Structure 1
């Protein structure tokens, strides 16, 4: 390109020619599609989520539907679930909901203790459970998959156990803290209500205060169900535990009972949330498949936490910080698989039941 030499005069036509050449090169360069450096990671993720998890559960859960409908419906369900689940807007939905569910974790524990506190003044309840509910709850329930739960959440147990009698004077500070925490925690389940309506393309996403009130009721439902299942678990496991130097030692029977109640709790919890959270009608038979898909990985995650609990120490990671990160890790995957179940139910409903949703006549039914 000798005409670029400044020592030589350049005419107008050559400048125009140079400008056009640069423009063509720029347009060509902007249309180049470079290979994705992380394509292998995307392929691995697609293989695990779509080809293994979703396809496996779709084959099992939709097996009896194949006799009445072509197999292409099952493939359409798999493609729909994966396409929606990896979309950017969908990732924003479940990640934002996971954060609010993390905030609601401690308030749910507060509600469980308040229920136990109210019932502890009844003789029949004390005779069945005893005064060591908090100790059993931390060691037999939470402590098995959250290492150090007794150390970092035990302040709730210690403070409540100091209440000598049930009166407004002693309960008012805890009730005020509980109500404020309950209001904050309802945000997560409020997001769950609107997310269900959005995923199913329901014509009503819901109002702010309507979803907020429903979120409060869902928090109470989760807390009450956790208290109910944990109480049954404690009643049975108490018969097999041995106490040595104020430490609870479990046996194989305790672990087996714990696994059974873990399966019951998370399956019924998913089924209840999928039924009561949306603003439209949905039968339990339609929700059963997504509840199984969501509950199985969560149960395996809980059992994995239980396995590594005895080998894990938070003191290496800053104690409280490590404990909080452990809870955040669990809630993150809890929300991930829960929304995977919701998406599967949506694809099943649209392909096998109806393309439209019918609004509920009441709050939950």
Structure 2
């Protein structure tokens, strides 16, 4: 974080602190908001400025059981000042919202394990900006990536917004691209943005009035850090040009970071996301595919699989060109993945419960247990 934007102290209300959070603060602790995390410690913003706080044993134990309980950027935390003067992150306050991706575990060989545990990318976020770049070489967006990120955004509890970044690179193809993206994001605002020229930046800033917090998500080279710098009015995050050959970017941002903005509001910059696994989906997928859900209500059969059944409104919409066939295929893919993750999560919870009862039964069988 640029030293020029670090004050000697922070107004907690400007960071999002309120009476509801204050009611859950443990006695004798100091409230702080997590701006950046490292191994075993976090950089936090509080009334005393920016501090480093190491995790307490309680926090480490909780995170060992479930990585979702690890402190993450955007969290509100309770700090305790130790006798030697340093601070310890004693506990996390309940999250209002959380953007969680699943399936991020790895095997000992370095491959993806298909772990049902999640990873929190950002917490207590009001707005989720999904950044998709407009590249000069093509007018086709990665609609599947947009749909996947929107499913997680809806599930997080934040308000999703799609930003077509680098809008100056595509020329006359921008209108077509905007329509294409809008078709994959029903009920979601879609805006064209160029951080270099300033186009759309004030519109984006309008989502961050007061103490609202946003997270910017997207692939490497999507212009996330450049947008954050434009919002901040100075270079608070390092940026890098995309490769000339394929328009792809490299991971300039290597960590997530919370940036307070001079005009109010906060924004979380993130590294480019390569893998976007679903996690404990409730209504996220349904919200992204609201158009298919509405069509399905008109099908003749309530359990219609939208394949070859007579009277299928979804198939009819594909045949008359109202619904792209790609969108139905994407809906099926995310539905299958959400169901698979749900089964993995259920199996993990059952295993953890069984392990817990084994420990309890073992304790009960010890000699002298429950004897007068």
Q: Tell me if both proteins adopt one fold, taking TM over 0.5 as the criterion.
A: no
- Give the TM-score normalised by the residue count of structure 1: 0.24
Higher relative contact order (CA 8 A, sep 6+): 1
Q: Which has the higher helix share?
A: 1
User: Which has the higher Rg, Structure 1 or Structure 2?
Assistant: 1
Q: Which has the higher strand share?
A: 2
- Give the TM-score normalised by the residue count of structure 2: 0.23
